[in-house]
Amino acid sequence: MEQEILRLLGELQSTAEGPRRNAETQITALYANDALPVALMNIASAQQLDMTARQAALLILKRYVQHCWSPSFEEFKGQLVRDDVKAQMRVALLGLVTDEQRKIRAAASYVVSKIASQDFPEEWPTLVQDLLKLISEGSESQVHGALRVLSDLINDGFSDEQFFSTAKALISVVYGVATHQSRNYSIRALAVHVFFACIEMLEMVKEDHPNAVNDFAKEILDLWVPFFVNTLSGSFPETDDITFDGVVTLRIQIIRTIMQIRKVFGSLLAPFLGQIFAVTWQELNIVKDRYVRDFVINETEGKLVDLDSLPYSLDLLVLEQLDFIQTCLKNKAVRDELARVSAGGGTGSPLVQMVNATVALSQVASEDEGMWEVDLNVFLCEETSISANYTPRSASGDLILKLGESFQQQTEAALWEYTQQIFKSGESTRQIKEAALFIWDELLSEFAEINRKINPSIASNLLEYVVSAIGSNLEEEQFLRARGYYLAGTLTKAAPETVGPRVTELIDQTIRASTTDPSDIVKISCIKVLQKYCEIVDLEIIRPYQASIIGSVRSFLAHKPHDEAEDSQDVLAELMEALRGAVGLNYSIAIDPNVRVVELIFAIAHNGPTSMHLQSLVQDLFQDIAEELYESFVPLCEMMLPFISAALDVGMDGKNHPLMDLAADVLAVLARSGSEPLPNGFVATVVPRLQRILIQCEESDVLQSGCEALGSIVKHDLNQLIQWHDADGKSGLEVTLVIIDRLLRPDIPDNSALEVGGLAAEVVEKASEHLGPFLASLLRAVAERLATAQSPPFIQSLILVFARLVLKQAKDVVDFLAGLTIGDVNGLQIVLGAWLENSSSFSGYEEIRQNVIALSFLYRLQDPRLSQIMVKGDLIVPESNRIMTRSKAKQNPDRFTMIPVPLKIVKLLVLELGSTMGDAAKSYYNNSQLAAESDSEDEGEGWEDMPASLNIPGISTEELMALGGSGSGRVSRQANDETYAYLTSFFRELSTTNLGDFQSIYTTLKKEEQLPLNQLLGLQS
C-alpha cells in the first residue's frame, strides 16, 4: 500500500485542482482500511524519502487520528481504529517523535499529543515513564521530541491529580536537561518551557491542595532559582556566535518562567526577587547598545520564533527584560533597594541609567520606520496604542511610567539631563532625539491624566526643544517633527500655565504644517494634535481656528494616496475624529454652506464604506449635530438629505450605492431627532427611498435602520405620511403597512426584522383611528411572528407591543389573545410562552421598567386562563458529574420544569428585584421610602384611569400607551430606582393581601429566590 499512498501524496501536491481533489477523496476512502495508518507511519519513518513526502504522510496521519481515533474528538467521522492497530501506532509514533529531522519530530509530536489527550493514562499508562526515560537517557533528537510531547501532555492531557502524582519526578528530569551545560541551548530552553507549563499546572492544583503545593513549590524554587540567576548572570555571546540564538531563547524562557512563578507563588519568589531584578537589569544595560546597533541602526529581522514556537531574537529578549523590570518595580522592597543604590544621582546611578535606557530602547526600529513610511495606518495604530505589535519601544514607555510613578522628581531630573545631552550634542541622531521626546510624551500624558504637575522650569525649557524639533525641515527628520507636534499638544495639557502664552503660536504652526509639510506622517500627526487642541484649549482661543482645522482635514483627504479602502481605515478614522472635535467647537458650522461639513463627512465615509469603525464615528458625529441643531432642523435637512438620497438611490448599473448602509443609519439618526411636524417635503424625499429598500433589500443593517427611520416619521409627522402617495396611489400609511407585513413574514431573518416591532408600535399608537379592521390583523401578525422568532432582541421588540397594551387594558389584551388560534396553538399560549421565556434577557432602562409593570398587571388579573397555561420554569440540572462535550450536549438538550404563568411571573419579578437591590437602590429606598411608595401608587392610579375597553378593531390613540419609547433602549440591563420602588410596593402588597395566593407561591420559590423578598421585608420593617 505504501507505493499507492506515495502516489496519492504526490498528487496532493499538484497545482491542478482535479488530481488534487481526486487524491483527497481516495485517501478519505481508505480510512476504513487498517493498513492505511501503518503505511503512513512507514512512509514517515523512511529516512531515504524526501522530507515533503514524510511530512505529508504525517499530515494525513494527523487527520486520520482526528477522524477515526475516538468518538470524543469533534472531528470524528464514525470509522473507529482497531485496538491492535492503535497499540502498533503508539509504539511507532514514539519512534517518530525522536526522529533526526526536527520537522518530522514536530509533526509527530502533534499526533502523539492528540492521541495522548484521549488515551492517557488508561490506554497508554507507560507514556510518561517512556518520555522521562527518553529525556534522561536519549540523544539530542530523542530528548527534543520527548520534551515536545511532554509539554503538550502537561498542557492538555494531565488531570490535576495525574500531574501532581508525577510532578516531582517530571520536574527533576526536566531540571537535569535545563542545567546540562553540554546540551544544546534550544533544548535547554525547551526544558525551561516545560517547567513553565508545570508552574501553570501547579496553579490549578494549588486550589485543592494549597499547603502541599506550596511546600513542593518552595522545594523546587530553591533548586531552580539559583540556576536562573546563574544563567542570567552569564556572559553574552556576540551576535554572529553559533550559540547566540540558543542563549537568547534560553534567557527568554527563564524570564517568562520567573514571571509565571511570581504570578502563582509571589510570596515564595519574594526573597529572590531583588537578586533576579539586579541581574536582569545588568544584562539589559549591557545588551541595549547591541539592540540599538542591530535594530535601529541596522535592519536586523526581529520577532523570530523557532519550530518549537520559542522566540529567539534579541528584540524579544529585550522586550521580556523591560517587562520584567517594570513588573518588579511594583514590589516595595525592589523600589526601596533601587532608591538606596541610586541615592546621590549621577551617571552611575542605576535609576539614571534606567531612565537613559528607556530613551535608547524606545528608538524606532529601522524595520518599523520603513513600514510606517509606506503605511500611515500602521503608524497611527502605534501612536494610538491599539496595535497588537508590542515592542521594546512600547515597553520602554511602560517602564518610564512606572519610574515616574515611583520616583517622580528623580525621573524628571534624569530624563531632562539626558534630553539636554542629546539635543546639545552634535552627534545625536534624529532617532535618539525623537526617542527622548517620545519618552517625555509618554510620561507627561500620564501626568496629565492623573493631574501630576511637572517642574515648570523643565516644562519651559522642554518646550524650546519641541519648537526646535517642529522647526526642522530635513526630509529624513519627519518622525522627529511629528513627535515634536505630538509633544506640543501633550505639554499644552500637562503644563498649561507654561505653554499658555505660546499656545496660539503652536496651533498656527500645527495648522500650517497639516497642509504644507512634505511628509504625510507629519500632516496626519498634526491633524491628530489639532483634535487634541480642540479638547484641551480654552474655547475662546481654539474656536476661531474651527474653519481652518476643518480645512486641514479636507486638504489631507483631497491629497491622500488612493489606497484600497481597507488599507486606509485608520487614517480615515483619524480624519473623522479630528472633524468631530472641530465641529464640536460650534455645531452651527455644520449648516454653513461655505464650509460644507456634511459634504466632507460623506466624502470621508465614501473612502471607507466597509469600515464598521468609521461608520460608527460618522453616526456619532451626525447624532451630535442633529441633537445640538434641533432648533435648526430645516436647514440641517437641506444640507443632509441630498447626500442621503444619493446614497440610497440605485445606480445606473442597478447596484446599490456603497454608502447605502451608512445613509440608512444616518437617516435613522436624523429622523429620530426630527421636528414635529417634519419639514415640508421630508416624506416625499425620504419615504420613496425607504419604500424601495425596505421592500427589496435583504441586508439586515439597512432594514433595521430603514425601519427605525420610518418609525420616527410615523411618530413625528403622521399627517405628512398619510398625505403622501406613491406612484400606485397608496398612501404613506398603506406603504408602511405593506412594509410591516413583509418584515413580519417568517422568511425574513430575525436580525433583519429587528426594528419592525418598534415600527408596528408607532403605527398602533399614532394611526390606530386610521387602521380600522387592519389593527386586529396587525396585532395577529405580530403574534404569529412570535411563534417562529428565535432572536431574544427581536422577541423583545415584538413582546413590547403587547406589554405596552397590557399597561392600558390588561384584561382586554388577554381576551384578544385568547381568541386567537395560530396553527393549532392558542394565541395566549404563544405570546405568554415567548414573553415569559425571554423576559429575563430584556434590555433597556425603559423597556425593563415597562415589562416589569406589565407582568405585575397580568398577575393582578388573577385570570384563571393564565393559571392554566404552563410555561418553562427552572432548569433541570443533570445528576451526572461527567464532562459534557458538545456532541453530548446536542444529544441531551436542556430540560425545564413546567409551571403556571402566575408562578413564572413572580419568579421573574423576584429576579428583577434582586438585580435592582444594589446599594444604590437600598439607599434610595431607605432615604425615600414614602416618596417611592407614593410615586408607585400614583403611577398605578394613572394606569387605572385609562378606558376599560380595548375595542378591537378601532382603538383610539388615547387608549394606547406610547409604544416607541425614547430611543432604541438596547443598552445593558440597569438596576434603577424607579423599577425598584415599584417592585417593593408590589411585593409588599402581595405579602399583606395574599393576592393570587402569594403565600403559597412563596413556599414554592427556591431559597435564593426567597432571599431578596426576605431582605425586602426586612427593609420594610
Kindly report the three-state secondary structure assignment for every residue of 17-42: HHHHHHHHHHHHHHHHCCHHHHHHHH
- Say which residue the cell 530635513 belongs to: 474
What letter would DSSP give residue 362? T
- Say which residue the cell 542591530 belongs to: 294
What CA–CA distances, in Å, run from 77 to 33, 39, 58, 88? 14, 20, 19, 21
Residues 725 and 636: their CA atoms lie apart, in Å, by: 25
Q: Which three cell numbers stand for residue 225?
A: 532559582
Residues 344 and 134: their CA atoms lie apart, in Å, by: 56
Could you tell me which residues are beta bridge partners of residue 896?
875
For residue 409, count other CB atoms closer than 10 A to its CB.
9
Residue 899's H or E segment, with its range, is: strand 895-900
Residue 825's H or E segment, with its range, is: strand 825-826
- Say which residue the cell 527533576 belongs to: 172
Give me the pLDDT at residue 1018, please.
Answer: 65
- Residues whose CB is less than 8 angstroms from the CB of residue 329 and which lie 6 or more positions away in sequence, other chains included: 335, 338, 399, 402, 403, 406
User: Strand 821-822 relative to strand 825-826: parallel, antiparallel, unpaired?
Assistant: antiparallel
- Residues whose CB is less than 8 angstroms from the CB of residue 856 and which lie 6 or more positions away in sequence, other chains included: 905, 909, 982, 986
Residues 130 and 957: their CA atoms lie apart, in Å, by: 82
Q: Which amino acid is residue 505, in one-letter code?
A: E
Question: Of the candidates 200, 101, 218, which has an alpha carbon nearest to the alpha carbon of residue 158?
Answer: 200
Residues 68 and 84: their CA atoms lie apart, in Å, by: 14
Q: Are 740 and 798 in contact (CB under 8 A)?
A: no
For residue 54, count other CB atoms closer than 10 A to its CB.
25
Q: Are 932 and 744 in contact (CB under 8 A)?
A: no
Q: Within 13 Å and on the Cβ side, how many CA atoms surround 777?
A: 8
Q: Are 996 and 859 in contact (CB under 8 A)?
A: yes
CA 1002 to chain centre: 41
3-state DSSP assignment of residue 655:
coil
Q: Which amino acid is residue 305, in one-letter code?
A: V
Q: Are 816 and 779 in contact (CB under 8 A)?
A: yes
Q: Are 713 and 686 in contact (CB under 8 A)?
A: yes
Burial of 653 (0-12, 13-18, 19+ CB in 10 A): exposed
Between the CA atoms of 910, 916, 919 and 924, what dihedral angle is there, to the nearest 10 degrees? Answer: -110
Q: What is the mean pLDDT of each run of 10 residues along the chain (1021 residues)?
A: 90 88 92 92 92 93 93 88 93 91 90 89 91 93 93 84 90 97 95 97 91 95 97 90 95 98 96 96 96 96 93 97 97 96 86 98 95 92 80 96 96 97 94 98 96 95 96 93 98 95 97 97 98 97 98 94 70 96 98 97 92 93 96 96 90 68 95 95 96 92 95 96 95 96 95 94 86 88 94 94 87 92 94 94 87 95 94 77 46 79 94 69 40 38 36 36 37 60 92 92 91 74 38
3-state helix, strand, coil in the chain (%, to 5): 75, 0, 25
- Say which residue the cell 512600547 belongs to: 394
Burial of 645 (0-12, 13-18, 19+ CB in 10 A): middle
3-state DSSP assignment of residue 871:
strand
For the entire predicted model, the pTM comes to 0.82
What CA–CA distances, in Å, run from 90 to 109, 146, 151, 785? 11, 13, 18, 56
What CA–CA distances, in Å, run from 196 to 5, 422, 755? 40, 41, 51
